[in-house]
Amino acid sequence: MGNFYTSTDHFALMPALVLALFGCAGLFFRRISGVAMLLAGELFTGIALWRQLQAGTINAFNGGLVIDGLGLFFNFLFVAAAAITGLISYRYLDIEDEHHPEFYGLLMLAQCGMFFLATGTDLVTLFTGLELMSVTFYVLVGFLRESRRSNEAALKYLLLGAFSSGILAYGLSLFYGLTGTTKLAPMAQALAAIDVTHPAVLLALITTAAGLFFKISAAPFHMWAPDVYEGAPTPVTAYLSVASKAAAFALLLRLFLGPLAPLRDSWQPVVTVVAILSLTIGNLAAVTQSNIKRLLAYSSISHAGYILLGIAAGNETGLRGALLYTLVYTLMNLGAFLVLVAMRRQNLPGETLEDFSGLMRRSPVYAVLMLLFLLSLAGIPPTAGFVAKAYLFLALVEAHQYVLAVIGTVYVAVSLYYYFRIVRAMFAGDAKPEAPLAISWGIGVSTVFTALATLGLGLWPEPLFQWVKGVTR
Amino acid sequence: MISLLLLVPLAGMLISIFLPARLSKYWAAAVSAATALLSVQLLRTGATAERMPWIPSLGVDYHVAADGISLLMLVLTTVMTLLAILASFESVKDRVKEFYALLLLLESAMLGVFVAQDFVLFFVFFEFSLVPMYFLIGLWGGERRLYAAIKFFLYTLSGSVFLLLGIIVLYLKSGARTFDAATLLAASLDPVTAQWVFWAFFLAFAIKVPMFPLHTWLPDAHTEAPTAGSVILAGVMLKMGTYGFLRFSLPLLPQAGHAREIVTVLGVLSIIAILYGALVSLMQKDWKRLVAYSSVSHLGFCTLGLFSLNASGISGSVLQQVNHGISTGLLFLIVGIVYERRHTRVIADFGGLAHAMPNMSVIFAIAMLSSAGLPLLNGFVGEFAILNGAYQANALWAYWSVPGVVLGAAYLLWLYQRTMLGPAQEVNARLQDLTVREWLTVLPLVAWAISIGVYPKPYFDLIAPGVKAALEALHRS
């Protein structure tokens, strides 16, 4: 046993401390000062993460926490997602007439949980992080107190989320029972020596995997996603669909590539099947949706499938592809949701396909930007979405998973069809005389950022490749 | 210089966004004219290759170069775009700014396809060109425009995703950490891989051409597209498929197992396209749809020439691609000119147009004869070389495709008879003949058609080195 709380531990914990502090402080600020608080918090978190990036890998809390490239990669992603969500929220909350101090604080507390999901190396730390994030999200999803949909979504999410957390906890506790440790590194050694076909091992693996698949909303554990995405306040949906999913992926990577790596032969087929199911269900169900939030919910299920394809490939390129895809997905999906947030105006939900009708005539800039995000989501060059998909296909071919590669490519065409239903409405639909978009400076700044990133990383992905390469080394 | 050629339309597009809408068409015409001059200048001076790293960690380069074949395609692209823009001056009244901006964007993408020497770069241009075309069809097209646009997009996209997979397989199997097309195509592969990659490429290019039986998107897209869209689709975008065959599919053949059988299958498919396209054209009641189906037949000749795998067939095919751009471009322009006056494309609504529009009927006659392959016009030269090549490859191919020439003459002459000759109906009697602007759009193509028909040697000389390189790639083992 080392020292209880060294300066290294403190340094490693810094971003989480900042987030918790600012998050708690944020609970007392309204509107602009709340956003300012959030941005200040994200700035300091960013600085802390930056310092850690320069310090190299840090093991802290006697192997309970590790600050490595992978953890930092995800944390930078969370910073971007949280900051953007904050920036787009204040106007939306004004319109919804729900402006309470807690909102920005909750965003940061959820992010605090994500920090532990991405950096924890102890089952207890990881599970605590997961619950901190989930519980915060239960509140955020139901943030519109007057809206029945929001309340229903929150309850649904709470019930199913708690259920899945329970299953995950069951799996994790079985692993603890099998190996006698909660730390990932010794657990990996113990599992390497164990008989992998033992029923208890398989049961532990299956329950753990099911819990994780629920959190990343992969089929067949995706049932909650469309309802929750539709009911939640749009900025929260955006945050949920990118940050929470990425955090759950971070956990999945930590577990599957860490202690569960010896069980690869058991989980790889499962991941493959889940990936194919997610692609199929997500893409096919999205085709008939007329509510954009539901459409994007199904599309996010299919994107989870794509990320899983990278893990199913089972090589280093696949892992890089999965990371790359997660980051790109975060940017482009946030972008699409930004436009959706701007569509929400007084007395106008702005969520259906019809609401997008003729957007090109009313607000050409946002119509073109939405087009960019949708092209990227579909994977048309020269956008970042294309680069990410191409990299995943490269990984699959390298791993000789030709069938998976073909399935992945075929669904590009399918996804284009439903994304272009939105495009068609925006550009070819008749314009209705409606109130202009609710564009605040926060939405403006965020849109410019996400659009530049989506196009820029498509035209010049080299820095991203280098970063991801460094992470997986 | 090549990069400049790609940048001019792109920059023109970006600037046009900030110009007032009433200036858009003049600006677009000026930009595309400048691009056309630039491409002609390139043709005269020759182009130097440009290369710099783009994504070093994967070995992707920004590498553009142009040999004679590419240069010819570049000129075809810039001329067609310029004429398409000129042809749209009166007919496009809605969302004018967007229309011309998209045309310029499309021009940039198409030019990129013909100069890219790196597979990733090629794919980016190849696939991105779909986006502006989707909007051109979907926003300014005919009644069923949205259906035609998404059908076009999905159909061609489904093919090109396999192109991407093929490229990736080639990249990994060759072991060369580069996406440079020449390097990858020269790498030695096992026959099974080569065959899979060949078929993946085939799917993408065959849909683009389109080859029978993958042609079903074409009649809808060509018919529903606005005149400018049809001209560019037929004139340039179909050639991206045949160009891809020539550059990327043929070099794979020697390594693919059962190359002979593959070529036989493709030759037979081409012949089916020739005959089937011609027969279906014969039955059309819609003027524009007839011209659209005639493209299937004519592109059948182009692919037949390619898969003859000899100098005569391939060079004839390349020239015929240009010819088809000229003659079908002209035919679509004429359909557009008539449609602007009568707002119908049903052949039965016309008759006796020659009385009201004598000049137009002369131009139409030239276009028709050029398309039908009359000697001293461009179509004859290309078809002759192709049939010569096909005969050398397999005499049966030539025998079976000759009826296509006859049928081609039949449906075109019959079309001419039904629309231009005979007594003029009341509604058609007072139509205005060609305006100055319309003269400007058709004359360059007429002049080009005659010049190729009378003196094709410079074109064959221009094409020869590229054809020689393709043949060398074919005969290495």
> How far apart, in whole angstroms, are the C-alpha atoms of residue B97 and residue A54?
49
In a domain, A116, yes or no: no
- CA A245 to chain centroid, in Å, comes to 3
Instruction: Tell whether A177 is covered by a domain.
Output: no
For A205-226, what is the mean pLDDT? Answer: 91
The shortest C-alpha distance from A396 to chain B (Å) reads: 10
From the number of C-beta atoms within 10 Å of its C-beta (0-12, 13-18, 19+), residue A185 rates as: middle
> How many A-B residue pairs are in contact by the CB < 8 A criterion?
73
What's residue A345's pLDDT? 79
Mean pLDDT for the stretch of residues A143-151: 89
* Whole-angstrom distance, CA of residue A428 vs CA of residue B29: 25
Task: Enter the pTM of the model.
Answer: 0.94
Q: Within a 10 A sphere around the Cβ of A145, how many other Cβ atoms?
A: 12
The Cα–Cα gap between A271 and A322 comes to 13
CA separation (Å) from B215 to A273, B156, B208, B324, B379?
35, 10, 8, 17, 22
- Candidates A409, A420, A461; nearest CB to B55: A461
What residues contact A372, with CB distance under 8 A and at least 6 apart?
A: A335, A383, A451, A454, A455
More confident residue, A58 or A278: A278
Contact list in A for residue B130 (CB cut-off 8 A) is 380
Q: Give bridge partners of residue B52 from the DSSP assignment.
A: B62
Structure tokens of B48?
């130097």
Considering only CB atoms, B131 lies closest to which of A380, A390, A405, namely: A380
Pick from B157, B189, B195 the residue to mutate for testing the A interface (most A CBs within 10 Å). Answer: B157
Average pLDDT over residues A205-234: 91
Q: Radius of gyration (Cα) for chain B, nearest Å?
A: 21
Q: Answer whether B169 sits within 8 Å of A406, measured CB to CB.
A: no
The answer to whether the CB atoms of A466 and B57 lie below 8 A apart is: yes
pLDDT of residue A2: 57
* Burial class of residue A54 in the structure, from the number of CB atoms within 10 Å of its CB (0-12 exposed, 13-18 middle, 19+ buried): exposed
- Give the mean pLDDT of chain A: 90
Name which of A328, A297, A295, A307 is nearest A450 in CA terms.
A328
Average of per-residue pLDDT across A453-463 = 93
Q: Does A242 touch chain B (CB under 8 A)?
A: no
Nearest-angstrom CA–CA distance, B207 and B162: 11
Residue B146 and residue A380: Cβ atoms within 8 Å?
A: no
pLDDT value at residue A161 = 92
pLDDT score, position B240: 93
**Burial zone of A315 (CB within 10 Å; 0-12 exposed, 13-18 middle, 19+ buried):** middle
Per the domain annotation, does A313 fall within a domain?
yes
Domain membership of residue A47 (yes or no) is no
Task: Report the pLDDT value the prediction gives residue A64, as an integer from 0 to 100.
Answer: 86
Contact B119, B184 (CB under 8 A): yes
A352 - beta bridge partners? Answer: A291
pLDDT score at A433:
67
Instruction: Determine if the peptide bond prior to B213 is cis (ω within 30°).
Output: yes
Q: Does residue A67 surpass a pLDDT of 80?
A: yes
Q: Measure the CA–CA gap between B154 and A416, rounded to whole angstroms.
A: 7
In this complex, do B139 and A427 lie within 8 Å of one another by their Cβ atoms? yes
Considering only A154-158, A234-238, B465-469, which range has the smallest mean pLDDT? B465-469
**Phi then psi for A431, rounded to 5 degrees?**
-80, 135
Distance CA A154, CA A143 (A): 8
Note which residues in 254-273 of chain A have CB less than 8 A from chain B: none
* For range A260-272, the mean pLDDT: 89
Q: What is the 3-state secondary structure (H, E, C) of chain B?
A: CHHHHHHHHHHHHHHHHCCCHHHHHHHHHHHHHHHHHHHHHHHHHCCCCEEEEEEHHHCEEEEECCCHHHHHHHHHHHHHHHHHHHHCCCCCCCCHHHHHHHHHHHHHHHHHHHHECEHHHHHHHHHHCHHHHHHHHHHHCCCCHHHHHHHHHHHHHHHHHHHHHHHHHHHHHHCCCCCEHHHHHHCCCCHHHHHHHHHHHHHHHHHHCCCCCCCCHHHHHHHHCCHHHHHHHHHHHHHHHHHHHHHHHHHHHHHCCCHHHHHHHHHHHHHHHHHHHHHHHHCCCEHHHHHHHHHHHHHHHHHHHHHCCCHHHHHHHHHHHHHHHHHHHHHHHHHHHHHHHHCCCEHHHCCCHHHHCHHHHHHHHHHHHHHHCCCCCHHHHHHHHHHHHHHHHCHHHHHHHHHHHHHHHHHHHHHHHHHHCCCCCCCCCCCCCCCHHHHHHHHHHHHHHHHHHHCCHHHHHHHHHHHHHHHHHHHCC
Report the gap between the CA of A422 and the closest CA in chain B (Å).
12
Type of residue numbered A296: L
Q: Please answer whether residues B207 and B158 qualify as being in contact, where contact means their C-beta atoms are separated by less than 8 angstroms.
A: yes
Gap between the Cα atoms of A358 and A324, Å rounded? 34
Assigned domain for A270 exists? yes
Considering Cα of A406, then A411, then A414, then A420, what sign does the dihedral take? negative
The pLDDT, as a whole number, for residue A72 is 93
Euclidean distance between CA atoms B231 and B91, whole angstroms: 14
A417–B150: do the CB atoms touch at under 8 Å? yes
Q: CB A424 to CB B150 under 8 A? A: yes
In a domain, A320, yes or no: yes
What does the alpha-carbon distance between residue A398 and residue A445 come to, in Å, rounded to a whole number?
39
Tokens representing B26 are: 């003049």
A417 has a chain B CB within 8 A of its CB: yes
Q: Domain range holding A341?
A: 260-473
User: Are residues B370 and B453 in contact, defined by beta-carbon separation less than 8 angstroms?
Assistant: yes
Task: Kindly give the confidence (pLDDT) of every residue in chain B, 477 residues in length, as a single tens digit, with 9 standing for 90 and above.
Answer: 889 999 999 999 999 999 888 888 899 999 999 999 999 998 888 888 889 999 988 889 999 998 889 999 999 999 999 999 988 888 888 888 889 999 999 999 999 999 999 999 999 999 999 999 999 998 888 888 899 999 999 999 999 999 999 999 999 988 888 899 888 888 888 888 888 999 999 999 999 988 888 989 998 998 888 989 999 999 899 999 999 999 998 888 888 777 788 889 999 999 999 999 999 999 988 888 999 999 999 999 999 999 988 889 999 999 999 999 999 999 999 999 888 888 888 888 888 888 888 888 899 999 999 998 888 888 888 899 999 999 988 888 889 988 989 999 999 999 898 888 888 777 777 788 888 888 888 999 999 999 998 898 999 998 988 888 888 888 875
Q: Is residue A243 part of a domain?
A: no
pLDDT above 80 (res A473): no
Enclosing H/E stretch for A460: none
Phi, psi of B94 (to 5 degrees): -100, 135
Q: Could you give the number of structural domains in chain A?
A: 1
Helix axes B358-372, B436-454, angle to 10 degrees: 30
Across the strands, what pairs with A289?
none
Check A380 against B130: CB less than 8 A apart. yes
Least CB–CB distance from A424: residue in B138, B154, B157: B138
